[in-house]
Amino acid sequence: MKLFNNLSKLQIAIFSLLVCISGVLGYLFYDSYRTNIQNLNLIADAQINNKDISQDLEIVKDKYDKLKTEVDVLKDKVRKVSYKKKYTKKRKLYSAGKSSKYKKHYKRQSVNYKKLYFQLKNKCDRKQSSVRQYSRRR
């Protein structure tokens, strides 16, 4: 306090103003230094993430290249498929009950499905009855 007693009021005001200005400048310097450090840390984290992403991207590119070569090899091995319908020999009709859309003709005569159905049914009934009689005889 003895120091301030020898100074005039104007000198005290200027001295306090210099102290305040130096305090404000010190705080601004500290704040900018702190944000610079934070920004450097964020940049370092971003670079690490970029390295990870670039490695992942390289892995995906390698897989894509391998799959592309496999597809090219398989394309060379695949034969072209034709959709032509093969000619099949018409067969005799052995069953009955199909719709008229699928009727087939044998010896250029139309087939009577109802008659054919009952003929087949009678044959089956005769075979079953003969099997029953044979089993009863034993």
Residue 102 pLDDT more than 70?
Answer: no
The confidence band for 105, taking pLDDT boundaries of 50, 70 and 90, is very low
pLDDT at residue 26 in the model? 93
SS3 (DSSP) at 113: helix
- Domain extent listing, the chain: 10-77
